[in-house]
Amino acid sequence: MDEGRPHRPGPAAVPVRECGERLVDLRDVPALLITGRGPVLLRLGVVDRLVTAQTMLPEGLRLLVIGGYGTGAGLRCAGHETGAAADLTLCRADGAELWPGAADPVAVEQRHTLSKALSIAGLSTYAQTWWHWSHGDCSWAYQRSAGHARYGPVER
């Protein structure tokens, strides 16, 4: 910690005011593509933001959801356990996956395109993970200084 800077508790210290929003199975959302055949569940507000982000992508690019509820660690307010986070990448309109994690200039531009659309739609990314985006969980609330998270762990 820097001298003179007050200590700010991390995301795990953010209080949760669970709003009770339902989970949506992305298999029922044609605007979004998912990997695999099993369910990918996210909160309705997150789904709405992903669909909005999809509309901001250049023609020929699609969001590809590679993970959602239940795919992350069991932390108190981890995005995946709350249904508030998705692991995302881009794909072409034909479904061919792109992986913007590489260091080449095309990948850097793809990460910028992905980041811009998701940020405008109201999602936040975790530090040093270009693929993990959330809205309404403790990390999002911490980054946005929102005061509280909207979503806590889902109990099913």
What pTM, to 2 d.p., does this model score? Answer: 0.87
Two tokens at 119?
């940020």
How confident is the prediction along the chain (156 residues), in pLDDT tens digits per residue? 456 666 677 888 899 999 999 999 999 999 999 988 888 899 999 999 999 999 999 999 999 999 888 555 444 445 688 999 999 999 999 889 998 888 889 999 999 999 999 999 999 998 778 999 999 999 999 999 999 999 998 876
Task: Give the H/E segment covering residue 63.
Answer: strand 61-67
Asked if 17 and 149 count as a contact pair (C-beta separation under 8 A), the reply is: yes
Residue ranges per structural domain of the chain: 11-144
Q: In the prediction, which pLDDT does 102 show?
A: 80
Q: Which CATH architecture has domain 11-144?
A: 2-Layer Sandwich (3.30)
Burial of 5 (0-12, 13-18, 19+ CB in 10 A): exposed
